[in-house]
Amino acid sequence: MIINIKENERLDELHRNGYQIIQNPDKFCFGMDAVLLSGFAEVRRGEKAIDLGTGTGIIPILLEAKTEGEHFVGLEIQEDSADMAARSVKLNGLQDKINIIIGDIKEASAIFQAASFDVVTANPPYMTNNHGLVNPKRELAIARHEILCTLEELVRETGKILKPGGRFYLVHRPFRLVEIISMLTKYKLEPKRMKLVYPYIDKTPNMVLIEALKGGRSRLKVEKPLIVYKEKGVYTEEIYDIYGY
C-alpha cells in the first residue's frame, strides 16, 4: 500500500510486528511515557479500547500489537495529528482493528455512547497553565499544557464512556498524584494499581502509571518501581522488553 509521507514527516520503527509510525519532529513526537503506558495497560481478548488524545496514534497501534483486544479507537482534536495517525493505521494494514476519530476529549461522551468501552487510556498534558513556560509552538503547547482539556475533564469523560468494571490507564507526573487520585475517586474510578517510574535507581520518580476501575472497591496495589536506566545511555532489561528490542 502506498501511503503519502508529507514534507518534514518521517517513518519511525516501532519494533513490534514490523509496524511503523508517521511523525513530524517539527510538531510533536511520542515519548517514552506513551510506550510505558502501552506496557502497563491491559486489553483482554474481545475488549474494546479507546485512547483519549491519541496524537499520532502510538498507543492504539502498540496496544494492537501487544494485546488481544478486539478493537481500538484513537480520539484526537488536532487534525494534522489525526491525519498522521490515520495514515499510520493504513500503513500497517490495521484499518479493521483501529479507528482514528477527530474530536474533543471534553465531548467524548457525546461522540460515543455511554459505557461503550472496556478500556480507556490517556497520556495527557502534564502541566496546568500555572506550571512553567508554555511552548510558543501550538502543537507542543497543547501536548504539554492543559490548554484544550483539563485533568478533571479527561477523568469526567472517561467515567462516562467506560463500562461498569472497565479500566482506565493513565500516565502522569508524581507531583500531581494527590490531585489525580482525588479526581479519580470523585468520578467513581477507583485506583487499583500504581507504578512509579524512576530515571535511575538513586533518583526521584518522574512518571507514575495508574490503573483505575470504574465502580471498584478501595484497594490500591503499589507495584515494584520501574527503573529506566541502569547506567547512562543503557536501559534496564525491563525497558528493553517494553520497547520490544
pLDDT score of 143: 54
Name 166's Cβ contacts closer than 8 Å, sequence gap at least 6. Answer: 115, 117, 118, 119, 120, 213, 214
pLDDT score of 125: 78
Enumerate helices (H) and strands (E) in the chain, giving the number of each: 8, 13
Domains of the chain and CATH, by start:
10-243 (3.40.50.150)
pLDDT score of 236: 96
Which set of grid coordinates corresponds to residue 72?
481500538
pLDDT score of 185: 97
- Could you give the count of Cα atoms lying within 13 Å of 140 in the half-sphere of its Cβ? 12
pLDDT score of 27: 84
pLDDT score of 134: 54
Q: How far, in Å, CA of 109 to CA of 158, rounded?
A: 8
Residue 102 pairs with which residues in a beta bridge? 76
pLDDT score of 138: 58
pLDDT score of 128: 65
Name 32's Cβ contacts closer than 8 Å, sequence gap at least 6. Answer: 228
Beta-strand relationship, 20-23 and 10-13: antiparallel
Task: For residue 136, give the DSSP letter.
Answer: S
pLDDT score of 4: 84
| Helix or strand run (H / E) with residue 99 | strand 98-102
Average pLDDT of adjacent 10-residue blocks, the chain of 245 residues: 84 94 91 96 98 97 97 96 96 97 96 97 76 54 62 97 98 95 97 98 97 95 97 93 87
Name 151's Cβ contacts closer than 8 Å, sequence gap at least 6. Answer: 124, 176, 179, 180, 183
- What 3-state class would DSSP assign to 185? helix
Task: Select from 106, 127, 217, 126 the least CA-distant residue to 172.
Answer: 126
pLDDT score of 244: 85
